[in-house]
């Protein structure tokens, strides 16, 4: 299993490749706000662990393993964003909250959150009732 730091890199590399068609060390450094030397070290580790193939000065590509993990990490991130929006978390808090919790939840918890999102999406009266409860509770504070 990748560490939380490795997950951040794999997720970012996956997104860069999906959006731009490639991921360079400089792109990864910029998107993660880290030094290129840190990216190079991590990319070498990810290469060693078979998440990607890295050739110095030639770029990198995700292996099948890296693509599978990257896709799953992006799904987790997107699902948590969707969940926090659905339950009424303010937009300005969502990204930071997702970054703070995504590495600390089991995949079982992620699957259950997916169930809750599906439950709320299937019947809009459920979401309406949740918002009513939130308004009632906000009035008590």
Residue range 90-118: average pLDDT? 95
Distance of CA 50 to the CA centre of its chain: 20
Residues near 18 by Cβ (< 8 Å), separated by ≥ 6? 74
For domain 4-68, give the fold. Answer: Arc Repressor Mutant, subunit A (1.10.10)
| Residue 62: predicted pLDDT | 96
pLDDT tens-digit readout, 38-66: 999 999 999 999 999 998 877 899 999 99
Q: What six digits make up the tokens of 113?
A: 């959150």
| Residue 1: predicted pLDDT | 82
Residues annotated in a binding site: 8, 11, 77, 99, 102-103
Could you give the residue range(s) of every CATH 1.10.60.10 domain in the chain?
A: 74-140
| Residue 55: predicted pLDDT | 84
Could you give the residue range(s) of every CATH 1.10.10.10 domain in the chain?
A: 4-68
Residue range 28-47: average pLDDT? 96
Q: In whole angstroms, give the CA distance from residue 87 to residue 59.
A: 41
Residue 139 confidence (pLDDT) above 80? no
Ramachandran angles phi, psi of 2, nearest 5°:
-75, 150
Residues annotated in a binding site for Mn(2+): 8, 11, 77, 99, 102-103
Q: In whole angstroms, give the CA distance from residue 55 to residue 11.
A: 19
Instruction: Please say whether the structural domain 74-140 has been given the CATH code 1.10.1060.10.
Output: no
Residue 141 confidence (pLDDT) above 80? no
């Amino acid at each position: 299993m990748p560490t939380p730091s490795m997950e951040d890199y794999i997720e970012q590399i996956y997104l860069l490749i999906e959006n731009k068609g490639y991921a360079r060390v400089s792109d990864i450094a910029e998107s993660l706000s880290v030094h290129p030397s840190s990216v190079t070290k991590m990319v070498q580790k990810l290469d060693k662990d078979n998440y990607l193939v890295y050739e110095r000065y030639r770029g990198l590509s995700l292996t099948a393993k890296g693509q599978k993990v990257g896709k799953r990490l992006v799904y987790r991130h997107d699902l948590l964003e969707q969940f926090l929006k659905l339950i009424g978390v303010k937009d300005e808090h969502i990204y930071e909250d997702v970054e703070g919790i995504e590495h600390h939840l089991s995949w079982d918890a992620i699957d259950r959150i997916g169930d809750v999102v599906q439950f709320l999406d299937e019947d809009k009266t459920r979401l309406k009732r949740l918002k009513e409860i939130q308004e009632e509770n906000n009035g008590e504070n």
